[in-house]
Amino acid sequence: MDLAFSQEQMDFREEIARFCNEKLSGARTAETAAEFRREIAEKGWTGLSVPVEYGGLGKGAVHRVIFMEEMAYHQAPLALYDYGVTWSLLGNMLVKHGTEEQRRKYLPMMARAEFFCGQGYSEPEAGNDLTCIQTRAVRDGDGYVVNGQKMWVHEARYYRYTLLMARTRSDVPPENGMSLFVLDNGTAGVSIVPQLAMNGQLTPQVFLDNVRIPAENLVGQENQGWRYYLENKPFYWNKEQGAETGTMRRLFDQVVRYSKTHQTPGRTPYPGELTRQKMARAAAEIRALRHLMYRMAWMEDVGQDLLDISAKARVFHVEAWIRFTDMITQILGRYGQIEPGDEYAALGGTMSRLYPAAALQLLQRAGPSYIKSIIARDVLGMPPAW
Domain presence at residue 385: no
Domain with 160, as residue range(s), is 118-223
| CB distance 133 to 139 below 8 Å | no
Whether 352 and 275 map to the same domain: the answer is yes
Single residue among 223, 256, 289 that ends a domain in this structure: 223
Count of domains observed in the chain: 3
| CB distance 374 to 384 below 8 Å | no
Q: What is the distance between the alpha carbons of residues 237 and 314, in angstroms, rounded to a whole number?
A: 7
Q: Indicate the SS3 state at residue 87.
A: helix
Domain presence at residue 69: yes
Whether 213 and 153 map to the same domain: the answer is yes
Domain presence at residue 2: no
Q: For residue range 349-378, what is the model confidence (pLDDT) as tens digits?
A: 888 888 887 877 777 666 777 788 878 887
Whether 249 and 338 map to the same domain: the answer is yes
Q: For residue range 128-177, what is the model confidence (pLDDT) as tens digits?
A: 778 889 999 999 999 999 999 999 887 888 889 999 999 999 999 888 99
Whether 185 and 305 map to the same domain: the answer is no
Single residue among 116, 139, 173 that ends a domain in this structure: 116
Q: Indicate the SS3 state at residue 196.
A: strand
Q: Model's pTM, two decimal places? A: 0.86
Whether 277 and 210 map to the same domain: the answer is no
Which amino acid would we find at residue 69? E
Domain harbouring 260, CATH code: 1.20.140.10
Single residue among 62, 85, 116 that ends a domain in this structure: 116
Q: For residue range 198-255, what is the model confidence (pLDDT) as tens digits?
A: 666 778 899 999 999 999 999 999 999 999 988 887 877 776 778 888 999 999 999 8
Q: Indicate the SS3 state at residue 104.
A: helix
| CB distance 88 to 104 below 8 Å | no
| CB distance 145 to 167 below 8 Å | no
Q: What is the distance between the alpha carbons of residues 297 and 203, in angstroms, rounded to a whole number?
A: 30
Whether 349 and 371 map to the same domain: the answer is yes
Whether 217 and 305 map to the same domain: the answer is no
Q: For residue range 44-95, what is the model confidence (pLDDT) as tens digits?
A: 998 999 999 999 999 999 999 999 999 999 999 877 777 778 888 899 999 9
Note the residue count of the chain.
Answer: 386
Domain presence at residue 246: yes
Interior angle at CA 213, CA 212 and CA 216, nearest 5: 150
Domain presence at residue 144: yes
Q: Indicate the SS3 state at residue 162.
A: strand
Q: What is the distance between the alpha carbons of residues 76 and 250, in angstroms, rounded to a whole number?
A: 12
